[in-house]
Amino acid sequence: MSEPRARAEELDSADELAGLRERFVLDDVVYLDGNSLGALPANVPGHLDDVVRRQWGELRIRSWDESGWWTAPERIGDRIGRLVGAAPGQIVVGDSTSVNVFKAVVGAVRLVKLTGEDRDEILVDATTFPTDGYIAESAARLTGHTLRPVAPHEVPDALGPRTAAVLLNHVDYRTGRLHDLPSLTSAIHAAGALAVWDLCHSAGALPVDLDAHGVDLAVGCTYKYLNGGPGSPAYLYVREEHQDRFDSPLPGWNSHTDPFGMSSGYEPAPGARRGRVGTPDILSMLALEAALEVWDGVSVDSVRTKSLALTDFFLECVSAYVPEGRVECVTPSAHAERGSQVALRCPEAGQIMKVLIERGVIGDLRHPDVLRFGFTPLYVGFGDVERAARVLGEVF
């Protein structure tokens, strides 16, 4: 037995989270694409069957009250809150990440405007996932602000008296680089601006601690490390101290203080409900709620510890199996700067990923030359990691 394989067996035998794998529907492939779409939690199909057959099929309209459909966005939001360090009443689930980014950025600009300060600039992460950049540009045009893209490490020097809000990604989707949320949020506040964070690649993989670090607004998807399913609804965090002044650019009947009063005038609801817009997507919403049950009894800190161990071990195995000089790791080696993925740059990355998938190792590609591997500690083991690196070496 090779030394990496023996080491994998040793690590798997000591893994306190190994039993969580049984909570998912998995086969014999090595699934390292949970940072794009999480695996299916085993309890979701049965729960959805009940939602469709009994709640919808038998109770029908009564389920808005009797099955708790109406309160699901806030109830599930509180459940996510426990994973991102947010006290109850600050997160609402619904809509897509893109829609929630729009709400958050415009809402942040409007909050700053209420202070009377003349701030007309929005900073955006220059390396962001494209949609965040598109939304930020649209928000800037609609609010009469200037948009300035800057790299996250340049933010402290770019801040100034004109800065109203800053939109940043907690983890870079291409490289897996983890940005310093506490210090960047502090710098943004010191400049008199508000911080908006995109948590798509960090929630469910590492501690975020929104409340502790004073984050103003945050958004995130639920289909990656939270395993909510394809197209599952996103969420919006509005810090409690901002909620009574949060002016959503998308007011809808669901966020009205009296939604069934059908008033022609809009009066926003209190608390996290202000982030709601229209009728919730109940089927996806309740699939997500069931999926979040896999977190019962699981500590985010323990998940982070395993995540770092998995990525460390993967890099060790890559060094052992892949011929020297064939790949370049673009993910930071320092734990403080690493999310839960490893990105390797190499020529012909597209063809290599195709072969990996054919051989049962599922990662993904970021054009033109990056192989991206996501490590979901709830169901990825050290044996998976060793096998993935070994197959990668054989491909070369």
Listed by start position, the domains of the chain span 3-17+298-395, 49-295
Q: So what's the pLDDT on residue 1?
A: 61
Q: Can you say whether residue 229 is alpha, beta or left, with left for phi > 0 and alpha for psi between -120 and 50 degrees?
A: left
Catalytic residue check, 223: yes
Of 24, 223, 314, 379, the catalytic one is: 223
Tokens of 137: 């540009």
Q: Which residues of the chain have pLDDT under 70?
A: 1
Q: Is the pTM of this model over 0.85?
A: yes
Strand 370-374 and strand 364-366: the pairing is antiparallel
Of 372, 375, 387, 390, the catalytic one is: 372
Catalytic residue check, 198: yes
Of 102, 129, 225, 314, the catalytic one is: 129
Catalytic residue check, 224: yes
Mean pLDDT value across the chain = 97
Catalytic residue check, 103: no
Catalytic residue check, 113: no
Mention the CATH class of domain 3-17+298-395: alpha beta
Mention the CATH class of domain 49-295: alpha beta
